[in-house]
Amino acid sequence: MLLRPHSLSYRRFLLPPYASPELLSQTATPSLFCSSATAVSTAAATAIQTSGSNISYGPSLRKGTLSSQTTHPLNPPSNSTSLRDSQIHPEEREEILFKEDQFTRAYKIAALRVPSEHCYALESRLRGHLLNWPRIRNVARVPGDEVDEEVQNILTIKNSVNDEAEILKALCRRIDGKAEGDGEELSPVLYRDKLVKEFNARGFVSFRNLARISRPKRKKKKMDEIEQKGEMSRKRRQRMVVEVVEVGGCEGGCVEEGEDFCGLLGDKFRGRKWRGSTRLLLLDERYAEKEVDELPEAVKAVLRGGTSEAAMLTLELVSCLLTLYYDYWPMNEVLEALLPMGMIIPSAFETVGHIAHLNLSNEHLPYKKLIAKVVLDKNKPKIRTVVNKIDAITGDYRTMQLEVLAGNHSLVTMVVENGLRFHVDLATVYWNSRLATERQRLVSCFTQDDVVCDVFSGVGPIAIAAAKKVKHVYANDLNPYAVDYLQRNCVLNKVERKIEVFNMDGRRFIDAMFSTEKGRSITQVVMNLPNDAAEYLDAFRGLFRNKPNDKACTLPAIHVYGFSKAEDPEFDFHERIRIALLEAAVAVDIRRVRLVAPGKWMLCASFALPKSVAFARSL
């Protein structure tokens, strides 16, 4: 797990809802976290300005404004109940995390409204003057910025007073359901039919009456509930929204009485001019709330020099509100805002299928659920469960003690490794995705004539990968659950005919394999149980003593894994191998696989089983 300290000073006041009483008593500032039960929204100010004078460039949780519904992490509402004061049951406190609304920020920015057909050309022309915030496109769309071509034709005939009357007439005919040209009124059914044919989905929505005709009637209350829920989930899912707040110096745009058709046709018909389809080019944050003459020459030049009549009509400077929601902020920024100052931010985790596997340190444990929720939220839908390792890998089966912190509680998942699929249950079997490259390297040494014996096979990542390449595989594991998954995985990867599966102790398995004729054919032995595999090597001593020691007899290559904390790990591991084999002269090729902990190496030793060991008379 990659860890890095964070530096935002405002976090000194933040505490998680379930912080220990000692921790709570050390702070004089109420927690930013409010339970759904205890949170009291501020009825007071509609917005809390939080921007500082020397705030860095780019989006930040320390900048922007909050809506009245939102509680800022820095400024919890004065009337909200502090968790320290409240009588919350410890179990309930565990469930209290944080409100996603706390991460909603609104920023005032300026934008150029430009004709949609010119927006990409203008975007590259204004490259150095655009917003350029991460994960935000410089070209934004707002509701009603698209116009049906046919409607546009009616509306952009000319811009004179007489033509305006024509435009109005044409529009009225359309809205009242009269056919073009003949002036005959259509029946409601024909009228609806006509509109459906003529308007695409976007245009269709603009005609509210038609939308009402099309929508089946529902009970109002139920509809409201659904709409509310829909709105909530939409808000939760959306990362950002751009709204135009001011056009030409007036909020919502200057529209003279009698000329506002937006009630009928939506925002696209506003004011005296018909704009046609438009897009917003979001300008650099420094240009927010600036007048046209305060803008740099490049932007002014664009505003002055529209490329066509339509462009001249459309180009304008508008004030916008850019709202960023919880979903916008990356995992590390959310955690930085939530965890106490100075705490290292857990910024990476291991994944096994749909499971994110954290390895939290002691200082993170009071915040484990909070961290897990953020990890889950920020990595959906790939990650559906977040677990934390609560103990070192122990026991014969090398399984991990895991605690589910967030998401669904299933630890059964499917992993894809080097193009192969493996079903794994992390609660009952061993799996380590970090060994994928090593397994691939090992299997790449095998040839199609090889017969492989995997003594500690687990759910089969080596055995199954080998089976795709070699002549035959014998795979064994002591753990009956692992053997069960191994068999399933053989079928899943269509190698069940090439693998024979065994469920016994490794030493017995080696003995059973080599005491029969099968042993003659085995060319490769894999022993991946780094904690003790070297000590199992004694099983090879004297294994061939009852067989003829002729030249035709080929002895297998052995690949054994081990850990070493020694200063010279290769020498240390070689020593262990020699002791187990009771043989001093063993030519071993040792390579370091990976550093599993500070100063602790995982190694792989490969060597041909010495004849002196295989045919030894003394055990």
Ligand X SMILES: C[S@@+](CC[C@H](N)C(=O)[O-])C[C@H]1O[C@@H](n2cnc3c(N)ncnc32)[C@H](O)[C@@H]1O
Residues annotated in a binding site for S-adenosyl-L-methionine: 439, 477-478, 505-506, 528
Beta bridge partners of 608: 557
**Smallest distance, Å, CB 526 to ligand X?**
7
**Smallest distance, Å, CB 527 to ligand X?**
9
According to CB under 6 A, which one of 95, 100, 117, 505 is a site residue for ligand X?
505
Asked whether 526 and 442 are in contact (CB, 8 A), the reply is: yes
Measured from the CB atom, the residue of 479 and 489 that comes closer to ligand X is 479
Q: Which among 138-146, 297-305, 475-483, 491-499 is the span making contact with ligand X, rule CB under 6 A?
A: 475-483
According to CB under 6 A, which one of 111, 114, 126, 462 is a site residue for ligand X?
462
According to CB under 6 A, which one of 17, 276, 340, 506 is a site residue for ligand X?
506
Asked whether 357 and 387 are in contact (CB, 8 A), the reply is: yes
Give 391's DSSP letter: S
**Residue 271 is a binding residue for ligand X (CB under 6 A):** no
Asked whether 615 and 566 are in contact (CB, 8 A), the reply is: no
**Smallest distance, Å, CB 501 to ligand X?**
12
Q: Which residue has the tokens 């921790």?
A: 23
According to CB under 6 A, which one of 435, 466, 577, 590 is a site residue for ligand X?
435
Q: Which among 30-38, 271-279, 361-369, 394-402 is the span making contact with ligand X, rule CB under 6 A?
A: 394-402
Q: Which among 103-111, 126-134, 392-400, 579-587 is the span making contact with ligand X, rule CB under 6 A?
A: 392-400
**Residue 430 is a binding residue for ligand X (CB under 6 A):** yes
Helices 368-378 and 331-338, packing angle to 10 deg = 160
Burial class (CB in 10 A: 0-12, 13-18, 19+), 356: buried
**Smallest distance, Å, CB 530 to ligand X?**
6
According to CB under 6 A, which one of 396, 408, 491, 600 is a site residue for ligand X?
396
CB atoms within 10 A of CB 30: 19
**Smallest distance, Å, CB 206 to ligand X?**
59
**Smallest distance, Å, CB 431 to ligand X?**
6
Please give the Cα distance from 605 to 328 (Å, whole number). Answer: 48
Q: Which residues are annotated as a binding site?
A: 439, 477-478, 505-506, 528
According to CB under 6 A, which one of 50, 70, 323, 457 is a site residue for ligand X?
457
According to CB under 6 A, which one of 38, 150, 350, 397 is a site residue for ligand X?
397
**Residue 413 is a binding residue for ligand X (CB under 6 A):** no
Instruction: List Cβ neighbours of 14 (8 Å cut-off, separation of 6 or more).
Output: 31, 32, 73, 337, 338, 339, 340, 341
According to CB under 6 A, which one of 155, 529, 581, 609 is a site residue for ligand X?
529
Measured from the CB atom, the residue of 290 and 507 that comes closer to ligand X is 507
Please give the Cα distance from 352 to 349 (Å, whole number). Answer: 10
According to CB under 6 A, which one of 64, 77, 115, 461 is a site residue for ligand X?
461
- Site size toward ligand X (CB under 6 A) is 20
Please give the Cα distance from 487 to 468 (Å, whole number). Answer: 15
Please report, as residue ranges, which positions from 565 to 584 form the binding site for ligand X (by CB under 6 A): none
Which of 84, 57, 81, 60 is CA-nearest to residue 71?
Answer: 81
**Residue 478 is a binding residue for ligand X (CB under 6 A):** yes
**Smallest distance, Å, CB 602 to ligand X?**
10
**Smallest distance, Å, CB 93 to ligand X?**
38
Measured from the CB atom, the residue of 451 and 529 that comes closer to ligand X is 529
Which of 322, 268, 379 is CA-nearest to residue 107?
Answer: 322
Please give the Cα distance from 430 to 398 (Å, whole number). Answer: 6
Asked whether 473 and 466 are in contact (CB, 8 A), the reply is: yes
Give 12's DSSP letter: G
Measured from the CB atom, the residue of 307 and 503 that comes closer to ligand X is 503
How is the beta sheet containing 105-115 ordered, strand by strand? Answer: 139-140, 278-282, 105-115, 316-324, 240-247, 250-251
Measured from the CB atom, the residue of 200 and 437 that comes closer to ligand X is 437
Task: Tell me the C-alpha to C-alpha distance, in Å, between residue 467 and each of 265, 418, 435, 438, 464.
Answer: 66, 13, 18, 16, 5
According to CB under 6 A, which one of 42, 60, 81, 479 is a site residue for ligand X?
479
Q: Which among 187-195, 338-346, 413-421, 430-438 is the span making contact with ligand X, rule CB under 6 A?
A: 430-438
The amino acid present at 499, given as its one-letter code, is I
- The DSSP line for 177-244 is TBPTTT-PBPPHHHHHHHHHHH--HHHHHH-HHHHHHHSPP--HHHHHHHHHHHHHHHHHH--EEEEE
Which of 148, 110, 138, 111 is CA-nearest to residue 277?
Answer: 148
Please give the Cα distance from 376 to 371 (Å, whole number). Answer: 9
* Residue closest to ligand X, measured at CB: 458
**Residue 131 is a binding residue for ligand X (CB under 6 A):** no
**Residue 481 is a binding residue for ligand X (CB under 6 A):** no
> Which residues of this protein are in contact with ligand X, per CB under 6 A?
396-398, 430-431, 435, 456-458, 461-462, 476-479, 482, 505-506, 528-529
